[in-house]
Amino acid sequence: MDDSDLIQRCLTGDSNACADLYQRWCGCVYRLAYGILRQEQDAEEVTQDVFVYALSRLGSFDPSKSAFRTWLYTITISRSRNKLRRKWLPTVEIGEWSESETTNETRPPEELSELQAERECVWAALGQLSPKLREAVVLRYFENLTYPEIGQILGCPMKTIQSRVRLAHKELRKLLE
């Protein structure tokens, strides 16, 4: 069953459909929120807020304007920004990231350890970017979104996204040199 069918059922008050929609998208929303906030608890709270907001205003979603995924990510970005504004967050929180992702790799332990150190290094550099630059970069590689999609989610023209990615790239270059 695709999103539009589920949404139609949700609009008729079908709580099972709402639960299915949540199960389908909660992971993506959580990971995006984590990419922006870099803190598990905040990402969990934002995920919950995003779904409470989205499901209670599902009637305002217009499929002719955007995909459901775009609409949901727009809400996620907005809620994550609010969260960032409301509280100071530690810049980097390494160590809680997916163990399964790395332990499944079939490489020698030394190589794995180097790879992990490299990722931590890049991840730490990403954490030092301003939220707006980080959003553009995370959105690009969190789900391979296209730039027009990123523009739609962030509410910016393509040129602005391009400029943010360039700035992010230059800052990362300085940080990782």
Q: Shortest Cβ distance from residue 153 to another protein (Å)?
A: 16
Tell me: does residue 128 bind another protein (CB under 8 A).
no
As a whole number of angstroms, the distance between CA 125 and CA 40 comes to 19
| Chain residues 24-63 in contact with another protein, contact rule CB under 8 A | 26-27, 30-31, 34-35, 40, 44, 47-48, 51-53, 55-57, 59-60
How many CB atoms sit inside 10 A of residue 149's CB?
A: 19
Contact 144, 28 (CB under 8 A): no
The residue to which tokens 């199960």 are assigned: 23
**Cβ nearer to another protein, comparing 48 with 66:** 48
Give residues 55-114 in contact with another protein (rule: CB under 8 A): 55-57, 59-60, 96-98, 100-102
Choose one: 1-9, 19-27, 64-72, 76-84; the region binding another protein (CB under 8 A): 19-27
Burial of 101 (0-12, 13-18, 19+ CB in 10 A): exposed
Least CB distance to another protein at residue 4 (A): 20
- The residue ranges that bind another protein (CB under 8 A) are 15, 18-19, 22-23, 26-27, 30-31, 34-35, 40, 44, 47-48, 51-53, 55-57, 59-60, 96-98, 100-102, 118-119, 122-123, 126, 137-138, 140-142, 147, 161-162, 165-166, 169-170, 172-173, 176
